[in-house]
Amino acid sequence: MKIQTTVLILLAAQLGGCASIVNGQNQSISVDTRTEDNQVAGAYCTLVNNKGTWYVTTPGSATVNRSFEDMSITCKKDAHAPGVLTVKSSTKAMAFGNILFGGVIGAGVDVATGAAYDYPPLITVTMGKTGTLAAPVPPASSASAPADTKSASAK
């Protein structure tokens, strides 16, 4: 009986370290739209990844499910060509630390739920362009990284 109790306590400690360490499986993202010269307010945007679909009228924000997969954002507004942006996901540095506190189970839960990943918190879609937004730079190296991590490639 004592061995069973010890095993249950150890298992509970392993599970307690998961997603909470890396801020959960949801993330708030702000979306803005512009042309080359001006802000475009009132564009209707659809955000899609393998965890779901969300809708935003710009400028606005949505709470999305984090995922390893890239997010596709398509924004439309009358009198403007649609803007399409692929947003890269990155693995949070804290997710690796979770292996120490949550063990393999905690890390596995974070990966499966998406809690181990991040999207950039502010996304700007350029109307009439198709591009890619690079994954967020981990905080430890952000001081040496350029301020603009957007690598938009017009097609």
Q: What is the pLDDT of residues 12-50, one digit of tens each?
A: 444 444 444 446 778 999 999 999 999 999 999 999 999
Residue 21 to residue 99: CA distance in whole angstroms: 10
Structural domain for 88, as ranges: 2-151
User: Sheet harboring 60-65: ordered strands across?
Assistant: 60-65, 26-34, 122-126
For residue range 80-133, list pLDDT tens digits in order.
999 999 999 876 555 445 555 555 445 555 544 445 678 899 999 999 999 999
pLDDT value for 24: 74
Closest CA to 73 of 61, 26, 90: 61
Taking 3-state DSSP, the helix, strand and coil percentages for the chain, each rounded to the nearest 5, stand at 30, 35, 35
- Beta-bridge mates of residue 57: 44
Q: How many domains would you assign to the chain?
A: 1
Residue 132 near residue 88, CB atoms below 8 Å = yes
Phi, psi for 67 (deg, rounded to 5): -160, 155
The pLDDT confidence band at residue 137, using thresholds 50, 70 and 90, is low
